[in-house]
């Protein structure tokens, strides 16, 4: 698993590809939130919520990568990151 994170970290092309993918995912999430909540098109709330969720997702993935590259046990990383994700400031 560490090799995966190292490959991404060392490859400008892979890192560059992640940025538009993240943007597309965030836009799709915002569209789904708009549909699910029934707010009018153009309401900024779903886009803001999608951006916040995407930010937490990026932070969690960065933490996973940092810990795996540092040689931590994947099961330990999973537990620690799960606790962090569950403590994110979002309603459940």
Indicate whether 91 pLDDT > 70.
no
pLDDT tens per residue, range 14-25? 888 988 999 999
Does 91 map to a domain? no
- Tokens representing 16 are 């560059």
Does 92 map to a domain? no
Instruction: Residue 49: give the domain boundaries.
Output: 2-86
pLDDT at 51: 94
Does 12 map to a domain? yes
What mean pLDDT, rounded, does the chain reach? 90
Predicted model pTM: 0.77
Indicate whether 1 pLDDT > 80.
no
- Tokens representing 68 are 């795996």
Give the span between the Cα atoms of 22 and 18, in whole angstroms. 6
Does 24 map to a domain? yes
Indicate the number of domains in the chain: 1
- Tokens representing 44 are 């900024």
Does 11 map to a domain? yes
Mean pLDDT of 13-41: 93
């Amino acid at each position: 698993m560490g090799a995966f994170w190292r490959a991404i970290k060392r490859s400008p092309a892979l890192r560059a590809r992640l940025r538009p993918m993240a943007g597309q995912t965030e836009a799709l999430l915002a569209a789904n939130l708009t549909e699910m909540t029934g707010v009018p098109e153009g309401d900024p709330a779903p886009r803001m919520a999608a951006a916040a969720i995407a930010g937490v997702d990026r932070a969690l993935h960065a933490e996973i990568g940092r810990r795996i590259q540092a040689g931590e046990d994947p099961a330990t990383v999973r537990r620690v990151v799960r606790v962090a994700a569950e403590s994110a400031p979002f309603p459940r």
